[in-house]
C-alpha cells in the first residue's frame, strides 16, 4: 500500500482530517512528571492511547526528543505506535535538507531506524536533497512549501523573475512537486493553516498531493478556513487528495493536571468535529 493509500484509508476509518503532533516538552508535563525527560515516552503513549481512534496521523517532532537525549524513547514510541495503532500513519517531522550520501543517511534514520511512514524535508538545496527519500517504495515525503511561521515569507513569497509569470517561490515548488519531481507518487507539501489564501493557491497548483497543514490550535490557524481552502471532496464522500491538519500543543497540553490524557481526547474530538463540519458544509 502506498503512503497516499494509507492516508486515504485512515481518513475513512477514523472519519478524520486531524493529525496530532507529538512535541513533548517535559516542562509542560503534569505533576509529578513535570521536568522529567525520562517520562517523554510515557507522556506520548498516554496521548496516543487517548486519541488513536480520532486521528488521521501522528507527527512526532524529532527535536523534542533529541534535545533531551531521548532518541531511544522516540524509537520506543514508534514501535508502540506500530503495535497499538498500526493503521495510523506516522510522519516524522525532521525537516532534513542535505544532498547525496548525507541525504541517504537521513532517509535511513527516518525509515529504517525510526520506521516512519513519511518524513518532512526541506527542498531548499534542490531535487537532489529529495531524491534519496524517494528510493523507498511506499514511503511519503512532505516538502516544506509555505510554512506557518511569519518569517517564511522572507524566501517563500519572493517572485522568480526568470520564470514565465514570475511565480512566487512556493508556487513554483508546488508546481514542480505536482509534476516532474513526483516520480513515484510519494510527495506531499507542508503548507501552514495561518495562510489560507496561499493554501488555496497551493491546492490549485497541486490538486493530487496530500497537504500537511500545521498551525491549527496554538498557532492561531482557523480550522474551518483551512478545510475550505484545501479540502476537495469526491462524490463518494472521500477526498481527491488528503489534507493532514496538525494540532500539537492545543491537544497535548489541554490540561496540566492528572486528567491530561482525557483532556487531550476532548480537544482532539472537538477539533476533529470542527474539521468535519467544515468539509460537510
pLDDT score recorded for residue 219? 63
pLDDT of residue 163: 87
- Is 243 among the domain residues? yes
pLDDT higher than 80, residue 236: no
Residue 99 lies in a domain: yes
- Report the residue count for the chain: 281
Q: Does some domain include residue 176?
A: no
**pLDDT value at 216 more than 90:** no
Evaluate if residue 75 carries a pLDDT over 90. Answer: yes
The catalytic site residues sit at 95
- pLDDT score of 218 more than 70: no
Cβ–Cβ contacts within 10 Å for residue 279, how many?
A: 17
pTM over 0.85: yes
Q: Is residue 177 part of a domain?
A: no
| Burial of residue 91, with CB atoms counted within 10 A of its CB: 0-12 exposed, 13-18 middle, 19 or more buried | buried
CATH number at residue 153: 3.20.20.70
Picking from 11, 13, 95, 23, the residue whose alpha carbon sits closest to that of residue 59 is 23
Annotate 123-135 with b (16+ C-beta within 10 A) or e (fewer): beeeeebbbbbbe
Mean pLDDT of the 98-106 span: 94
Residue 178 is assigned to a structural domain of this protein: no
Strand partners, 211: 189, 243
The CA-atom distances, in angstroms, between 122 and each of 19, 93, 96, 97 are 20, 11, 6, 5
- Asked whether residue 10 is assigned to any structural domain, the reply reads yes
Residue 30: give the domain boundaries.
3-171+183-279
φ/ψ of 194, rounded to 5, equals -75, -10
Asked if residue 100 lies in contact with residue 133, where contact means CB atoms within 8 angstroms, the answer is no
User: Containing H/E element for 76?
Assistant: helix 71-84
- Quick one: CA dihedral 215, 28, 90, 100, positive or negative? positive
User: 3-state DSSP helix/strand/coil percent for the chain, to nearest 5?
Assistant: 45, 15, 35
C-alpha dihedral (249, 90, 81, 33), degrees to nearest 10: -20
Task: Classify burial at 69, counting beta carbons within 10 Å of its beta carbon; exposed 0-12, middle 13-18, buried 19 or more.
Answer: exposed
> Helix or strand or coil: residue 184?
coil
Helix (H) or strand (E) holding 196: helix 196-205
Among the residue ranges 18-32, 75-89, 160-174, 227-241, the one predicted with the least confidence is: 227-241
Residue 95 lies in a domain: yes
Q: Which segments within 158-203 are labelled E, that is strand? A: 187-191
14 domain residue, yes or no: yes
Number of domains in the chain: 1
46 pLDDT more than 70: yes
Alpha carbons 135 and 227: distance in angstroms, whole number: 32
Nearest 5°: the CA angle 181, 146, 245 is 95
Q: Is the pLDDT of residue 45 over 70?
A: yes
* Mean pLDDT for the stretch of residues 250-273: 96
Amino acid at each position: 500500500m502506498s503512503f497516499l493509500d494509507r492516508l486515504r484509508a485512515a481518513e475513512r476509518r477514523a472519519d478524520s482530517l486531524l493529525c496530532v503532533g507529538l512535541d513533548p516538552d517535559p516542562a509542560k508535563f503534569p505533576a509529578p512528571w513535570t521536568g522529567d525527560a525520562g517520562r517523554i515516552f510515557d507522556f506520548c503513549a498516554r496521548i496516543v492511547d487517548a486519541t488513536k481512534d480520532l486521528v488521521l496521523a501522528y507527527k512526532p517532532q524529532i527535536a523534542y526528543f533529541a534535545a533531551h537525549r531521548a532518541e531511544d524513547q522516540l524509537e520506543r514510541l514508534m514501535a508502540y505506535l506500530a503495535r497499538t495503532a498500526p493503521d495510523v500513519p506516522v510522519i516524522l517531522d525532521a525537516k532534513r535538507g542535505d544532498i547525496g550520501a548525507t541525504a541517504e543517511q537521513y532517509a535511513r534514520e527516518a525509515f529504517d531506524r525510526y520506521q516512519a511512514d513519511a518524513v518532512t524535508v526541506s527542498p531548499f538545496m534542490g531535487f537532489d536533497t529529495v531524491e534519496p527519500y524517494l528510493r523507498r517504495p511506499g514511503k511519503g515525503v512532505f516538502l516544506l512549501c509555505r510554512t506557518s511561521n511569519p518569517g517564511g515569507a522572507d524566501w517563500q513569497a519572493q517572485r522568480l523573475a526568470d520564470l514565465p509569470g514570475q511565480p512566487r517561490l512556493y508556487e513554483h515548488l508546488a508546481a514542480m512537486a505536482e509534476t516532474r519531481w513526483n516520480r513515484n507518487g510519494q510527495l506531499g507539501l507542508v503548507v501552514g493553516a495561518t495562510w489560507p489564501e496561499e493554501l488555496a493557491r497551493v491546492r490549485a497548483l497541486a490538486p493530487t498531493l496530500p497537504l500537511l497543514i500545521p498551525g491549527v490550535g496554538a498557532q492561531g490557524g482557523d480550522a474551518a478556513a483551512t478545510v475550505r481552502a484545501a479540502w476537495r471532496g469526491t462524490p463518494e464522500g472521500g477526498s481527491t487528495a488528503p489534507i493532514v491538519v496538525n494540532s500539537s500543543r492545543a491537544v497535548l497540553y489541554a490540561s496540566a493536571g492528572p486528567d491530561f490524557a482525557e483532556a487531550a481526547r476532548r480537544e482532539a474530538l472537538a477539533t476533529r468535529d470542527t474539521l468535519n463540519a467544515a468539509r460537510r458544509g
